[in-house]
């Protein structure tokens, strides 16, 4: 990576994190192993990081966490699995740790954010350097949501290939288990799995199609004894075994209120009566609730995929993904085996 682009990355990042909704730049911290806030689990590594450089709320580093990692050149299957399982873990109050890379890592971070959870991004560059550049809006979301960007590389360090390989041990050590959603052969994901096993923690793996090269590594790990995650129930059972049976659903059911883009002063909307709280919503919040109602109406009439819903409503796919995810967590829609969503009966 050239010096010019490196400087551009830093400038873009400082612009993102100093927007008006942030009173000041996210807190910078430097943690030494002797610090009481230094993650104790990192001390179990053979190569203990001498110093951690962080942006964000460092208290998140000492919460119950699961690592979710996978292929950079991910398939839609891998991306959906990463997002889906990260969302479910975050909804149970579990912090999601990943590497911020293009592909499954970014999908995992986004899934945690979609559920209103916390996520930790372990970088192969300095914590104040945006890499990859396309992740800048995601990293902003992580910080706004109370998450952390972390690196053992000093401030301003450019991304280097060896640093990405080295950071895998930190990803594994910050979590009590690692879920691998998609991995080819060869794959750096195996390093994270090896570090997880060396620490005595559980490796979970989502099986993949036997003809997909992106799943050859995942399936090999299953042959070697990793715990298979074949559906939502098996994932939740694994979480209960690892984190205890006291996990509570952090996300309340979605409150379904039909609204139009503007709310009359009398609080009535299209023949519906709405609460004072709904009448006081900002226009953007009202539009989002209206879109949620439209999506529910669509899938009640006919099961549809995310892409079909996005096309039908003229919306970005990720906007629809966020709404459908919340509806799924709230128990209002269910995902069919062919990838379509339908309203839950009853």
Q: What pLDDT, on the 0 to 100 scale, is given for residue 25? A: 56
d(CA 111, CA 96): 9
- Confidence bin at 161 (pLDDT 50/70/90): confident
What tens digit of pLDDT does each residue of 68-84 get?
999 998 888 888 899 99
Mean pLDDT, all residues of the chain: 82
Separation between Cα atoms, residue 57 and residue 40, nearest integer Å: 16
What's this model's pTM, rounded to 2 decimal places?
0.69
Residue 239 has pLDDT above 90, yes or no: yes
Residue identified by tokens 């902003």 is 140
DSSP per residue over 30-93, as a string?
A: EE-TTSTTS-GGGGGSSS--S-EEEEE-GGGGGS-EEEEEE-SS--HHHHHHHHHHHHHHHHTT
Q: Which domains does the chain have, with CATH numbers?
A: 3-243 (3.40.50.450), 268-343 (1.10.10.10)
Give the length of the chain: 346
Q: What phi-psi label fits residue 99: left (phi over 0), alpha (psi between -120 and 50 degrees) or beta?
A: alpha
Neighbours of 230 (CB within 10 A): 9
- Contact assessment for residue 144 and residue 119, using Cβ atoms and an 8 Å cutoff: no
Q: How many Cα atoms sit within 13 Å of 322 on the Cβ side? A: 14
Q: Which of 98-102, 130-134, 269-273 bottoms out in mean pLDDT, i.e. has the lowest?
A: 269-273
Tokens read off for 134 = 């396309």
pLDDT number for residue 297:
78
User: Mapping DSSP to helix (H, G, I), strand (E, B) and coil, where does residue 101 land?
Assistant: coil
- Of 260 and 124, the structure prediction assigns the larger pLDDT to 124
In this structure, of 2-11, 16-25, 166-175, 296-305, the range with the lowest mean pLDDT score is 2-11
User: What is the percent of the chain with per-residue pLDDT over 70, rounded to a whole number?
Assistant: 80
What value does the mean pLDDT take over residues 136-164? 93
The confidence score (pLDDT) of residue 60 equals 95
């Amino acid at each position: 990576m050239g010096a010019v682009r490196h400087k551009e990355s830093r400038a873009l990042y400082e612009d993102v994190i100093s927007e008006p909704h942030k009173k000041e730049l996210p807190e910078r911290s430097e943690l030494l192993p002797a610090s009481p806030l230094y993650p104790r689990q990192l001390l179990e590594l053979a190569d203990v990081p001498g110093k951690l450089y962080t942006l964000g709320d460092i208290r998140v580093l000492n919460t119950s966490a699961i690592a979710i990692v996978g292929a950079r050149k991910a398939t839609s299957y891998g991306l959906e699995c990463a997002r889906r399982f990260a969302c479910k873990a975050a909804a149970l109050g579990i912090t999601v740790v990943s590497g911020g890379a293009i592909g499954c890592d970014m999908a995992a971070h986004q899934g945690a954010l979609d559920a209103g959870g916390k996520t930790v991004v372990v970088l192969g560059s300095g914590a104040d350097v945006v890499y990859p550049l396309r992740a800048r809006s995601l990293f902003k979301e992580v910080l706004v949501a109370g998450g952390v960007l972390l690196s053992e590389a000093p401030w301003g360090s450019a991304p280097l290939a060896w640093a990405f390989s080295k950071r895998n041990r930190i990803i594994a050590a910050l979590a009590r288990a690692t879920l691998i959603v998609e991995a080819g052969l060869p794959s750096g994901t195996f390093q994270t799995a090896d570090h997880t096993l060396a620490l005595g923690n559980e490796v979970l793996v989502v099986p993949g199609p036997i003809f997909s090269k992106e799943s050859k590594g995942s399936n090999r790990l299953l042959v070697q004894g990793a715990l298979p995650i074949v559906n939502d129930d098996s994932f939740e059972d694994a979480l209960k075994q690892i984190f205890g049976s006291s996990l509570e659903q952090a996300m309340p059911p979605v409150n379904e209120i039909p609204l139009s883009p503007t709310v009359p002063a009398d609080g009535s909307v299209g023949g519906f009566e709405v609460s004072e709280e709904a009448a006081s919503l900002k226009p953007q919040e009202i539009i989002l609730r209206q879109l949620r109602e439209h999506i529910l109406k669509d899938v009640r009439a006919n099961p549809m995929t995310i892409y079909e819903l996005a096309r039908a409503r003229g919306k970005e796919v990720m906007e629809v993904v966020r709404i459908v995810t919340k509806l799924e967590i709230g128990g209002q829609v269910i995902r069919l085996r062919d990838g379509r969503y339908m309203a839950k009966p009853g």
